[in-house]
Structure 1
Amino acid sequence: MADRSVTHATFTLERLYPAPVARVFAAWADPKVKARWFSTPGADHELDFRVGGREVNRARPDGGPSMTFESTYRDIVRDERIVYTSVLHVGDGLATASLTTVEFRPAEGGTRLVLTEQGVYLDGREEPSWREHGTGDWLDALGVELDVEPGGRVGAVGRE
């Protein structure tokens, strides 16, 4: 019989982006923009950004097992918050189920984003620290995306 385990964990990540709230929120809602910072090269990414809509990201990193991340949007308040539930499958096995809340707050110089995720990690297929690190990486990628000015030029918006 396979070893079975359940680990519960919650983490909160914050980022300050030098862009208006509406622009940061839009980077989550636009399928092409979100795919640039959220997905990986060669992955299959779909986004239906509405309450009840789904987001699916399928990849096979470094030739390893397939990974499928599926989310369902539960609550969307434009320019304020997004709430979604997600599952991550590694191969055929369920690795993680989670509830995530993303809050967008006006802040001096831009937007403070606060992401809180509550997850259950199953059978050692994923660890909370891996998820927190990976989520931090894509929030950093969002920052890079937001630093690209309309028209594709990299800008110095909000930099000293």
Structure 2
Amino acid sequence: MNTEQNTAADGFAYTLTRTLDAPVEQVWRAWTTPEQYARWAGVAAGSVEMDVRPGGAWKATMLTPDGGQFPLTGSYLEVTENRRLVIGMDVPGKPAPATMTVDLDEQDEDDHRTQIVLHQTCDTATERDMAEQGSTMLLDSLSTFLTAQTSN
């Protein structure tokens, strides 16, 4: 896994890059279908809602390793099927949403591998470190889910 970390002029950013052993359409469905997202993203049962279109809303309640629950809401800012999601995440006490970009790139049509690049800019180093840790766990879980799907 390649992990880059950059500090942007307007905040603290991270970029995570992975190559997944699944075709781009399968990765897209895992990220944009509530039933599939709920199976790998570490969320509370029945908490995922997705209206995957520009301006569409989403929500999910993440489960923390210590058993807590963390409700998340937001909207889709940009949607290009099988290529790009720009996701706005509501942050309590902040006027503007945090933005996460997920880019997908099919590596080899015959090999069915997809490169996923996840990028987010945060306001502080602490926020960035927490978001990067959460995103790393998400990508680990997504990779495990896709591997299980492909072997079935």
Q: TM-score interval w.r.t. the shorter chain?
A: 0.7 to 0.9
Task: Report if the CA contact (8 A) 1:43-1:60 is conserved.
Answer: no
Aligned to 2:142: 142
Asked which structure has the greater CA Rg, the reply is 1
Unmatched 5+ stretches in structure 1: 1-6
| Percent of residue pairs identical | 27
Match of 2:151 among 149, 155, 160: 155
Give the Å deviation of 1:68.
2.2
- What are the superposed Cα offsets for residues 104-150 of structure 1, whole Å, 9 maximum, x if unpaired? 111143000011111225xx9x631111011110111111111123x
Aligned to 1:3: none
Task: Report if the CA contact (8 A) 1:37-1:142 is conserved.
Answer: yes
Give the Å deviation of 1:97.
4.1
Aligned to 2:52: 49
Q: Does 1:10 align with 2:13?
A: yes
Match of 1:39 among 39, 42, 65: 42
Question: Normalised by the size of structure 2, how large is the TM-score?
Answer: 0.76
Q: Does 1:28 align with 2:31?
A: yes
Task: Report if the CA contact (8 A) 1:82-1:102 is conserved.
Answer: yes
When residues 58 and 40 of structure 1 are mapped into structure 2, their CA distance, relative to the original with a 3 A threshold, is closer
Question: Normalised by the size of structure 1, how large is the TM-score?
Answer: 0.73
Aligned to 1:71: 74
Distance 2:85 2:134 in 1: 19
Structure 2 residue identity aligned to 1:24: V
**Secondary structure of residue in 2 paired with 1:52:** coil
Distance 2:33 2:62 in 1: 20
Distance 1:112 1:60 in 2: 26
Out of 54-63 and 10-19, give the one that drifted further.
Answer: 54-63
Structure 1 residue identity aligned to 2:135: T
Match of 2:86 among 83, 87, 104: 83
Distance 2:70 2:137 in 1: 17
- How many equivalent residue pairs? 138
**Secondary structure of residue in 1 paired with 2:19:** strand
Aligned to 1:103: 103
When residues 12 and 25 of structure 1 are mapped into structure 2, their CA distance, relative to the original with a 3 A threshold, is same
TM-align CA RMSD: 2.7
Structure 1 residue identity aligned to 2:49: E
Structure 2 residue identity aligned to 1:145: F
Give the Å deviation of 1:41.
4.4
Task: List structure 1 runs of 4+ shifted beyond 4 angstroms.
Answer: none
Unmatched 5+ stretches in structure 2: 1-9
